[in-house]
Amino acid sequence: MAVSTIYSTQALNSTHFLTSSPSSSTKQVFFYRRNTNRRFNTIITCAAQQTVVIGLAADSGCGKSTFMRRLTSVFGGAAEPPKGGNPDSNTLISDMTTVICLDDYHSLDRTGRKEKGVTALDPRANDFDLMYEQVKALKSGIAVEKPIYNHVTGLLDAPELIQPPKILVIEGLHPMFDERVRDLLDFSIYLDISNEVKFAWKIQRDMAERGHSLESIKASIEARKPDFDAFIDPQKQYADAVIEVLPTQLIPDDNEGKVLRVRLIMKEGVKYFSPVYLFDEGSTISWIPCGRKLTCSYPGIKFNYQPDSYFDNEVSVVEMDGQFDRLDELIYVESHLSNLSTKFYGEVTQQMLKHADFPGSNNGTGLFQTIVGLKIRDLYEQLIANKSTAPSEAAKA
Ligand SMILES: Nc1ncnc2c1ncn2[C@@H]1O[C@H](COP(=O)(O)OP(=O)(O)OP(=O)(O)O)[C@@H](O)[C@H]1O
Ligand SMILES: O=C(CO)[C@H](O)[C@H](O)COP(=O)(O)O
C-alpha cells in the first residue's frame, strides 16, 4: 500500500514513525519499530467513539487477573481471549471492556533479557513509545496491531488486532510509569501487596500450582526486588485508588498471612470519582461490626475510616481487617458504607456472592476490588454522559 502522508514524526520518537493513507471514511496508520523494521498496523475505523482508559498496576502474582475478572463482571458478559487468535494471547475481551496486558510491550524477549542482564521490570526491557502510541490510538477510536509477549515460550509473537473498546484496561507492571501513558488514563489503580503477603500468595500459586521450590520462589522475589522498588512501587503515588494489602493486626505476631488488613486509599478531587465512606463523610470511625447481624469467628473483623494524606495528596481511607464467615451477611456492612455507586441496594453483596470462589472473597481484597469496579462503572457512565452533552452545550454558547 502506498504511503501518502507521513505525519506527527516529531511528536513521536526516534524508534517509531507513523504513516497514513487517508480515504474518505477509513484510513490506515502504520507504526514502524525502526530497529526491527517490524510494522504495527493500525486501522482507523471511526473517530466518533470515545474509549475510556483505566490503568491497573501491580507486580506479577498480586491479583491483577482476579481484579480484572471482578471488574469485567460488573459490566456484564464474560471476558474471553480474542476469537480465533493466538491461544497464548494475554488479551481479554467482553462486550464493554478490553483488557490488554502491558507485558505485550516487552521489547526484549526472555533470552534478550537474560543476555542483557535486565529484568522485565526494567524500563529498558519495555517499549514505552509503542505503548504510548497504541494506547493513544485506541483512546481516540483507532484500532491497532499490538504485539504479543508469549509467556509460554518467552518470545515476542506476531501482533494481534485490537479494536477500540468502550473501556480499555491496561494492566501490568508499568501503566503509570511513562508520563505520556499516565496522562492518557481516565482512572488509575495500584495494587500494593506487602512483601509478606506477596510471598504467601506466590508460595500458594507457584508451589502448589506450578511445582516451583520454596528456594526458587524466594530467589525470584529477591532478584526482582531492586527493580520493583525502583520502577514499579513508585507508581502508587500517581494512582487514584490504591488497594493496600497488609498482614492482620488482629492476631499478635501473625506469620501465617491468611488473615489480611486491607486498605482502600482513595484520592480526593478526582473528576467523576467520589470516595466511599463509612457512616459519616470526613469523620474518623473505628467499627467492629461483629455481633447480632454479622457472624465473626476469631480474630473478628474491624473497620476503620478516616481522612488522611498519601504522597502529599488528600485521601480518604476505608480499612478492613479480618475476614467474613458468611458472605450473605455482607449486606449488613454494605448498608453502612456510602457512595458505593451501586445501581440497587445489595449490589456489592450480590457481586461478592456471585464470585465467592475467587481468591479474597472473604476479606477486604475482594470487597474493595468489587467496590472499585462499581466506581469505575460509575465513572465511565458519567464520562460518557458528559461527552454526549458537551457538543450541544458548545453549540448553544
Ligand atoms: N485476594 C487474594 N487473596 C488471596 N490470594 C490471592 C488473592 N489475589 C490473588 N491471590 C493469589 O495470587 C495468585 C495470583 O493472582 P492473579 O493471577 O490474580 O495475579 P496476577 O497479578 O494477574 O498474576 P500474574 O501477573 O503473574 O499473571 C492467585 O493464584 C492466588 O493464589
Ligand atoms: O513480571 C512479569 C509480568 O507478568 C513477568 O515476569 C514478565 O512479563 C516476564 O514474563 P516471563 O517470566 O513469562 O518471561
pLDDT digits over 320-367, tens only? 999 999 999 999 999 999 999 999 999 999 999 999 999 999 999 999
> For 197-204, what is the mean pLDDT?
86
Task: Return the pLDDT at 49.
Answer: 65
Task: Return the pLDDT at 47.
Answer: 44
How deeply is 245 buried, as exposed, middle or buried, from its count of CB atoms within 10 A (0-12, 13-18, 19+)? buried
Q: What are the residues facing 322 on neighbouring strands?
A: 301
Task: Return the pLDDT at 40.
Answer: 58
Query: How far does the centroid of ligand 2 lie from the alpha carbon of residue 60, in Å?
Result: 7
pTM above 0.90, yes or no: no
Ligand 1 atom at minimal distance to the Cα of residue 68: 18
With a cut of 90, say whether residue 16 has pLDDT above it.
Answer: no
Per residue in 161-170, is it b (16+ CB within 10 Å) or e — as a string?
Answer: ebbbbbbbbb
With a cut of 80, say whether residue 70 has pLDDT above it.
Answer: yes
Closest CA to 138 of 104, 106, 100, 85: 100
Distance, in Å, from the CA atom of 142 to the CA atom of 132, rounded to the nearest integer, reads: 13
Distance, in Å, from the CA atom of 386 to the CA atom of 288, rounded to the nearest integer, reads: 40
In this structure, the residue with its CA closest to atom 7 of ligand 2 is 120
With a cut of 50, say whether residue 13 has pLDDT above it.
Answer: no
pLDDT band at 239 (very low <50, low <70, confident <90, very high): very high
Ligand 2 atom at minimal distance to the Cα of residue 113: 14
pLDDT digits over 99-140, tens only? 999 999 999 999 999 999 999 999 999 999 999 999 999 999
Asked if residue 60 has its Cβ within 6 Å of ligand 2, the reply is yes
> For 131-159, what is the mean pLDDT?
97
Query: How far does the centroid of ligand 1 lie from the alpha carbon of residue 65, in Å?
Result: 7
Task: Return the pLDDT at 351.
Answer: 96
Instruction: Find the range with the poorest average confidence among 222-236, 282-296, 383-397.
Output: 383-397
SS3 308: strand
Task: Return the pLDDT at 164.
Answer: 97
In this structure, the residue with its CA closest to atom 10 of ligand 2 is 151
With a cut of 50, say whether residue 74 has pLDDT above it.
Answer: yes
pLDDT band at 19 (very low <50, low <70, confident <90, very high): very low
pLDDT band at 12 (very low <50, low <70, confident <90, very high): very low
Distance, in Å, from the CA atom of 126 to the CA atom of 48, rounded to the nearest integer, reads: 31
Query: How far does the centroid of ligand 1 lie from the alpha carbon of residue 143, in Å?
Result: 30
Asked if residue 173 has its Cβ within 6 Å of ligand 2, the reply is yes
In this structure, the residue with its CA closest to atom 14 of ligand 1 is 61
With a cut of 70, say whether residue 35 has pLDDT above it.
Answer: no
pLDDT band at 200 (very low <50, low <70, confident <90, very high): confident
With a cut of 80, say whether residue 202 has pLDDT above it.
Answer: yes
Q: What is the DSSP letter of 291?
A: S
pLDDT band at 208 (very low <50, low <70, confident <90, very high): confident
Ligand 2 atom at minimal distance to the Cα of residue 59: 1
Ligand 1 atom at minimal distance to the Cα of residue 172: 25
pLDDT band at 37 (very low <50, low <70, confident <90, very high): low
Q: Could you write out the DSSP letters of every residue in 313-328?
A: EEEEEEEEEEB-S-GG
CA angle 36, 41, 45 (to 5 degrees): 165
- Ligand 2 pocket, mutate which of 64, 99, 103, 118 (most atoms under 8 A from CB): 103
Query: How far does the centroid of ligand 2 lie from the alpha carbon of residue 378, in Å?
Result: 32
Distance, in Å, from the CA atom of 73 to the CA atom of 366, rounded to the nearest integer, reads: 13
Query: How far does the centroid of ligand 2 lie from the alpha carbon of residue 120, in Å?
Result: 6
With a cut of 50, say whether residue 217 has pLDDT above it.
Answer: yes
Q: Report the chain's mean pLDDT, rounded to a whole number.
A: 88
> For 282-309, what is the mean pLDDT?
96
pLDDT digits over 267-290, tens only? 999 999 999 999 999 999 999 999
Asked if residue 112 has its Cβ within 6 Å of ligand 2, the reply is no
Closest CA to 172 of 281, 67, 266, 319: 67
With a cut of 70, say whether residue 395 has pLDDT above it.
Answer: no
Ligand 1 atom at minimal distance to the Cα of residue 59: 21
> For 41-47, what is the mean pLDDT?
48
> For 210-222, what is the mean pLDDT?
85
> For 43-71, what is the mean pLDDT?
84
Ligand 1 atom at minimal distance to the Cα of residue 365: 1
In this structure, the residue with its CA closest to atom 4 of ligand 2 is 60
Query: How far does the centroid of ligand 2 lie from the alpha carbon of residue 103, in Å?
Result: 7
Q: Could you write out the DSSP letters of every residue in 27-91?
A: EEEEEEETTTTEEEEEEE--S----EEEEEE--TTSSHHHHHHHHHHHT-S--BPPTTS-TT---
Task: Return the pLDDT at 56.
Answer: 98
Task: Return the pLDDT at 390.
Answer: 67
Ligand 1 atom at minimal distance to the Cα of residue 369: 1
Query: How far does the centroid of ligand 1 lie from the alpha carbon of residue 67, in Å?
Result: 9
Distance, in Å, from the CA atom of 297 to the CA atom of 275, rounded to the nearest integer, reads: 30
